[in-house]
Amino acid sequence: MDDLAIVILAAGKGTRMKSDLPKVLHKVAGKSMVVHVLACARKLTRDNIHLVIGPQAQLVKQEVSQYFLVNFVIQTSLLGTGDAVKHALPELAPTIKDVLVLCGDVPLIQEDTLRALLTTHRTTNAKLTVLAVNMENPTGYGRIIRDSSGDMTSIREESDATRKEKQITTINTGIYCFDKTFLEEAIGLIRPDNNQAEFYLTDMVQIARSKREKISVRLMADPWQVVGVNSPNDLERVEALIQQIENELS
């Protein structure tokens, strides 16, 4: 897909991992998490992949360069996902139509899921499409907020959610598809008006809504694909999931 760019967010320190190693370099099934994500991304496009990295950037470059040729984008200050994507935008080719945003710490994501997300995005002529999933235990994830008509109005991070909002089980996976022109025009409107004082990419939903732009949601069926890794326990869980999948396929 020559008109698709993929931006992978991999700048987080991962302080809860209790390790000096950058979070995305922790290994699952023998390979760093970010390498799993990149392998999936390259099934969609080979030449338009941008990896946003931060602290200990050289370590990430050394690891990734053993496997893939990608464009590295340095996020000098870790000011949130919106800021990370903003850093990558100047690197995108003029021919790019859509931008797929992935997470470097979600190593189980599959090609078919990303293709389905992109199909929904393009067939609905959306400016922004969010990949969502229903999860029995949504703790720690941003919730998909809808109005009385069922249309998505916003994504509420757990730290900012009300008690009622925390009961919502449809969660944001952190994976999005944007119309490039809309993304370039609107990303500067994000403000750090939240408990973390960061630029949340999730705020793009409210920005799109305020501009009366088309927003789509792709609800996926397999929550295991989007299990993120934020702690050693999460890493063990993902490792167990991979072993379970391999056993089922064998």
Residues 6+ apart with CB under 8 A from 163: none
From the candidates 16, 42, 122, 209, give the one annotated as an active-site residue.
16
Does the annotation mark 46 as catalytic?
Answer: no
Beta bridge mates, 74: 53
Residues designated catalytic: 16
